[in-house]
A and B are shown apart, each in its own frame.
Chain A
Amino acid sequence: MVACSIDEKLLKILACPACDDRPLVKLQCDELVCEKCKRHYPIEDGVPVMLPEKASKEE
């Protein structure tokens, strides 16, 4: 599982780079999700892609 490679402690400091107040993102399935702006950041080969332009967004 890709998601298992994300260390839980390190996940706790991972925040949304697109939101000014940097809310923490949450691991959902194999993506990191910002609950505020609804961006989904992919995890590619175990590397979280924390770039807003690479994120998908819920409508």
Chain B
Amino acid sequence: MNNEQKAREIFGARAAYYTTSVSHTDQAVLDRVVELCKPTSDAIALDIATGTGHTALAVAPRAKQVIATDITPEMLDQGRKLQTEKGIGNVQFRLASVDDLPFDDGSFDIITCRRAAHHFADIHHALAEMQRVLKPGGRLVIDDRSVPEDDFVDATMNRLDVLHDESHVCEYRPSEWERMLTEAGYEIEVVETYTRHRPLSSLTDNVSPENTARIHEIISALDADQRLMMNVVDKDGVTHINHWFVMIAATRG
């Protein structure tokens, strides 16, 4: 099974969960994404790997049109339900892959991509496809899971996330994002990082018993320093761990 098929299978089953997911509806993060997009009333925007459409629906009131794409039909069905509930009329959903975006060159003023790039099998190709469909000077805003600039935390977090979600490819450090975007020809405007301290269940919910056990093994094996680095803390008997994030705004050079 290739990565795209894995992602489809996993996210098809989780679609309803994502419409109410705490981390994916984090309003402050969504507001910041919209702010970094600098949408205008005549802007055409593309939201890639839209999932259940949270980002597309947040950008839509300030843009002319938003096209929202995903590879999972069940996610788009939930997105269309949300759109109806919110009474938003200018979002159109398309089943499409970031690897082969079905759009003409220079079609979009804005591209958003939230909490998805760590699933892309070929991030360099994805960034090139995004650049192709952006208008010159168009804006790309990426929000994604990330890792700090530390080899141990990087390796451990990526290992945990593969166990959490087998379609996980890699969550990149901010410095890796800067390098990849610069090499792809983007001009970087903003790189911001933030963290969330989440219960360990955020990694084990909807996960097989085998992978859940391996996640617990990894956490149990951390020594005191490593726990500190991962911010593994018991709060009222519930183990919490850091999730790192990065938000980037760049323009097509």
Residues of A within 8 A of B (CB): 6-7, 9-10, 12-18, 22, 24-25, 41, 44-45, 47-52, 54
Given A7-B65, A9-B65; A14-B102 close (CB under 8 Å): yes
Which of B103-111, B167-175, B181-189, B240-248 contacts the other chain?
B103-111
B103 and A14 contact, CB distance less than 8 A: yes
A17 and B95 contact, CB distance less than 8 A: no
Give the residues from 73 to 116 in chain B that come closer than 8 angstroms, CB to CB, to chain A: 73, 76-77, 80, 92-97, 100-105, 107
B97 and A17 contact, CB distance less than 8 A: yes
Please, which residues of chain A bring their CB within 8 A of the CB of B147?
A: none
Residues of B within 8 A of A (CB): 44, 65, 67, 69, 71, 73, 76-77, 80, 92-97, 100-105, 107
A44 and B73 contact, CB distance less than 8 A: yes
In the complex, 17 of the A-B residue pairs with CB atoms within 8 angstroms, ordered by the A residue number, are A6-B92, A7-B92, A9-B65, A10-B65, A17-B97, A17-B101, A22-B105, A44-B73, A45-B80, A47-B73, A47-B93, A48-B94, A50-B94, A50-B95, A51-B95, A51-B96, A54-B95
**Nearest residue, chain B, Cβ from A34:** B102
* Distance, CA A10 to CA B73, complexed state (A): 20
A48 and B95 contact, CB distance less than 8 A: yes
B65 and A17 contact, CB distance less than 8 A: no
For the complex formed, measure the closest distance between the CB of B228 and the CB atoms of chain A, giving whole angstroms: 45
**Nearest residue, chain A, Cβ from B5:** A53
For the complex formed, measure the closest distance between the CB of A14 and the CB atoms of chain B, giving whole angstroms: 6
A15 and B102 contact, CB distance less than 8 A: yes
> Told that A7-B65, A14-B103, A17-B97 touch, could you supply 12 new A-B pairs with CB distance under 8 A?
A13-B104, A13-B107, A15-B102, A17-B96, A17-B101, A22-B102, A22-B104, A47-B73, A49-B94, A50-B69, A50-B95, A54-B95
* Distance, CA A17 to CA B150, complexed state (A): 38
**Interface Cβ pair total, 8 Å cutoff:** 60
B102 and A47 contact, CB distance less than 8 A: no
A47 and B105 contact, CB distance less than 8 A: no
B102 and A17 contact, CB distance less than 8 A: yes
A47 and B94 contact, CB distance less than 8 A: yes
* Distance, CA A49 to CA B71, complexed state (A): 9
Please, which residues of chain B bring their CB within 8 A of the CB of A16?
A: 102
* Distance, CA A51 to CA B76, complexed state (A): 14
